[in-house]
Amino acid sequence: MSTSLKAEGLIGLLALFFALCTVFALIVSISDAWSEHLQKSWPEVDATIERCNVDPYVPLRSASRTPVWHIRCRIAYVTKSDEIDTSIRSRSTSSGWGGDTEGMRQWVAQHPAGSSLLVHYNPANEKDPVLVATDMPCAGPRTPSNLKLLLIASVACVGFFTLARKLRPDRKQVT
Protein backbone atom coordinates (compact mmCIF):
# COMPACT_ATOMS: atom_id res chain seq x y z
CA MET A 1 0.00 0.00 0.00
CA SER A 2 2.87 2.40 0.70
CA THR A 3 4.27 1.78 -2.80
CA SER A 4 0.85 2.64 -4.23
CA LEU A 5 0.78 5.85 -2.21
CA LYS A 6 4.27 6.78 -3.39
CA ALA A 7 3.31 6.16 -7.03
CA GLU A 8 0.08 8.11 -6.54
CA GLY A 9 2.01 11.01 -4.99
CA LEU A 10 4.58 11.03 -7.79
CA ILE A 11 1.85 10.96 -10.46
CA GLY A 12 0.03 13.77 -8.64
CA LEU A 13 3.22 15.80 -8.46
CA LEU A 14 3.80 15.31 -12.19
CA ALA A 15 0.20 16.37 -12.87
CA LEU A 16 0.76 19.54 -10.84
CA PHE A 17 4.05 20.21 -12.63
CA PHE A 18 2.42 19.91 -16.06
CA ALA A 19 -0.49 22.07 -14.89
CA LEU A 20 2.02 24.82 -14.04
CA CYS A 21 3.76 24.26 -17.39
CA THR A 22 0.40 24.61 -19.13
CA VAL A 23 -0.34 27.90 -17.37
CA PHE A 24 3.13 29.23 -18.18
CA ALA A 25 2.88 28.16 -21.85
CA LEU A 26 -0.56 29.77 -22.09
CA ILE A 27 0.72 33.10 -20.72
CA VAL A 28 3.75 33.08 -23.04
CA SER A 29 1.57 32.11 -26.04
CA ILE A 30 -0.88 34.94 -25.38
CA SER A 31 1.92 37.45 -24.87
CA ASP A 32 3.81 36.43 -28.03
CA ALA A 33 0.61 36.27 -30.10
CA TRP A 34 -0.30 39.82 -29.03
CA SER A 35 3.21 41.13 -29.82
CA GLU A 36 3.19 39.42 -33.22
CA HIS A 37 -0.27 40.82 -33.94
CA LEU A 38 1.03 44.34 -33.25
CA GLN A 39 4.18 43.74 -35.34
CA LYS A 40 2.06 42.84 -38.38
CA SER A 41 0.71 46.39 -38.37
CA TRP A 42 4.18 47.94 -38.35
CA PRO A 43 5.39 49.48 -41.64
CA GLU A 44 6.71 46.94 -44.15
CA VAL A 45 9.83 47.53 -46.22
CA ASP A 46 12.20 45.62 -48.50
CA ALA A 47 15.57 45.45 -46.78
CA THR A 48 18.76 44.88 -48.73
CA ILE A 49 21.02 42.19 -47.30
CA GLU A 50 24.59 43.41 -46.87
CA ARG A 51 25.83 40.07 -45.55
CA CYS A 52 24.55 37.02 -43.71
CA ASN A 53 26.47 34.51 -41.63
CA VAL A 54 25.77 31.46 -39.53
CA ASP A 55 27.48 32.41 -36.29
CA PRO A 56 28.32 30.30 -33.25
CA TYR A 57 27.62 31.50 -29.74
CA VAL A 58 29.10 29.73 -26.73
CA PRO A 59 27.14 30.51 -23.58
CA LEU A 60 29.45 31.47 -20.71
CA ARG A 61 27.41 29.60 -18.13
CA SER A 62 27.24 26.40 -20.16
CA ALA A 63 29.15 23.54 -18.55
CA SER A 64 29.67 21.73 -21.86
CA ARG A 65 30.68 24.89 -23.75
CA THR A 66 28.82 23.52 -26.78
CA PRO A 67 28.09 26.31 -29.26
CA VAL A 68 24.61 27.23 -30.37
CA TRP A 69 24.11 28.66 -33.84
CA HIS A 70 22.07 31.48 -35.32
CA ILE A 71 21.82 33.43 -38.57
CA ARG A 72 22.87 37.06 -38.34
CA CYS A 73 22.23 39.39 -41.28
CA ARG A 74 23.36 42.98 -41.70
CA ILE A 75 20.58 44.75 -43.56
CA ALA A 76 19.78 48.24 -44.83
CA TYR A 77 16.44 49.83 -45.62
CA VAL A 78 14.88 53.23 -46.09
CA THR A 79 12.04 54.48 -43.90
CA LYS A 80 10.00 57.63 -44.37
CA SER A 81 12.53 59.60 -42.34
CA ASP A 82 15.87 57.82 -42.48
CA GLU A 83 18.24 55.31 -44.06
CA ILE A 84 18.71 52.49 -41.58
CA ASP A 85 21.68 50.12 -41.19
CA THR A 86 20.97 47.41 -38.65
CA SER A 87 20.99 43.65 -38.18
CA ILE A 88 18.46 40.90 -37.77
CA ARG A 89 19.00 37.41 -36.44
CA SER A 90 17.28 34.11 -36.05
CA ARG A 91 16.74 32.31 -32.79
CA SER A 92 19.53 30.00 -31.72
CA THR A 93 19.71 26.29 -32.33
CA SER A 94 22.08 23.65 -31.05
CA SER A 95 23.49 21.22 -33.59
CA GLY A 96 23.34 18.44 -30.97
CA TRP A 97 19.62 18.85 -30.26
CA GLY A 98 18.17 18.46 -33.73
CA GLY A 99 19.29 21.92 -34.75
CA ASP A 100 19.20 22.79 -38.40
CA THR A 101 22.66 24.30 -38.89
CA GLU A 102 22.88 22.82 -42.40
CA GLY A 103 19.53 24.40 -43.27
CA MET A 104 20.84 27.69 -41.90
CA ARG A 105 23.92 27.47 -44.11
CA GLN A 106 21.78 26.70 -47.14
CA TRP A 107 19.52 29.68 -46.41
CA VAL A 108 22.54 32.00 -46.11
CA ALA A 109 23.93 30.67 -49.42
CA GLN A 110 20.58 31.41 -51.09
CA HIS A 111 20.54 34.99 -49.75
CA PRO A 112 23.80 36.65 -50.86
CA ALA A 113 24.68 40.32 -50.48
CA GLY A 114 22.33 42.49 -52.51
CA SER A 115 19.28 40.24 -52.23
CA SER A 116 16.19 41.54 -50.47
CA LEU A 117 14.33 40.51 -47.36
CA LEU A 118 10.87 41.73 -46.33
CA VAL A 119 10.87 43.17 -42.80
CA HIS A 120 8.53 45.17 -40.62
CA TYR A 121 10.06 47.90 -38.48
CA ASN A 122 8.91 49.46 -35.24
CA PRO A 123 7.72 53.01 -35.95
CA ALA A 124 8.83 54.05 -32.44
CA ASN A 125 12.34 52.66 -33.05
CA GLU A 126 13.06 52.33 -36.78
CA LYS A 127 16.22 50.27 -36.11
CA ASP A 128 14.07 47.49 -34.66
CA PRO A 129 13.10 45.19 -37.57
CA VAL A 130 11.20 41.92 -37.28
CA LEU A 131 10.47 39.08 -39.67
CA VAL A 132 6.70 38.64 -39.62
CA ALA A 133 6.77 35.90 -42.26
CA THR A 134 10.00 34.31 -43.47
CA ASP A 135 11.62 31.17 -44.76
CA MET A 136 14.68 31.78 -42.54
CA PRO A 137 15.22 28.75 -40.27
CA CYS A 138 14.54 29.45 -36.58
CA ALA A 139 13.08 32.89 -37.32
CA GLY A 140 9.69 34.52 -37.62
CA PRO A 141 6.65 34.16 -35.38
CA ARG A 142 6.98 32.11 -32.20
CA THR A 143 3.28 31.53 -31.62
CA PRO A 144 3.04 28.26 -33.65
CA SER A 145 5.83 26.68 -31.57
CA ASN A 146 4.30 28.04 -28.37
CA LEU A 147 0.96 26.47 -29.24
CA LYS A 148 2.61 23.08 -29.83
CA LEU A 149 4.27 23.32 -26.42
CA LEU A 150 0.94 24.37 -24.86
CA LEU A 151 -0.77 21.36 -26.43
CA ILE A 152 1.91 18.94 -25.18
CA ALA A 153 1.83 20.37 -21.65
CA SER A 154 -1.98 20.34 -21.46
CA VAL A 155 -2.27 16.77 -22.77
CA ALA A 156 0.38 15.62 -20.27
CA CYS A 157 -1.45 17.50 -17.49
CA VAL A 158 -4.81 15.91 -18.30
CA GLY A 159 -3.19 12.48 -18.68
CA PHE A 160 -1.39 12.63 -15.33
CA PHE A 161 -4.46 14.01 -13.51
CA THR A 162 -6.57 11.20 -14.98
CA LEU A 163 -3.98 8.62 -13.96
CA ALA A 164 -3.72 10.12 -10.46
CA ARG A 165 -7.51 9.89 -10.04
CA LYS A 166 -7.50 6.24 -11.13
CA LEU A 167 -4.68 5.41 -8.70
CA ARG A 168 -6.37 7.21 -5.80
CA PRO A 169 -7.59 4.76 -3.22
CA ASP A 170 -11.33 4.67 -2.59
CA ARG A 171 -12.28 6.80 0.40
CA LYS A 172 -15.61 5.40 1.57
CA GLN A 173 -17.49 7.00 4.41
CA VAL A 174 -17.35 5.00 7.62
CA THR A 175 -20.63 5.17 9.57
For residue 63, pLDDT beyond 70: no
For residue 10, pLDDT beyond 50: yes
pTM of the model: 0.74
pLDDT of residue 137: 87
Residue with more model confidence, 60 or 43? 43
Q: Specify the long-range contacts of residues 126-133, CB closer than 8 Å, at least 24 apart.
A: 126/79, 126/81, 126/82, 126/84, 127/84, 127/86, 128/86, 129/47, 129/75, 129/77, 129/84, 129/86, 129/88, 130/39, 130/42, 130/88, 131/88, 132/36, 132/39, 132/40, 132/44
Q: What is the pLDDT of residues 13-32, one digit of tens each?
A: 999 999 999 999 999 999 99
Domain ranges of the chain: 43-140
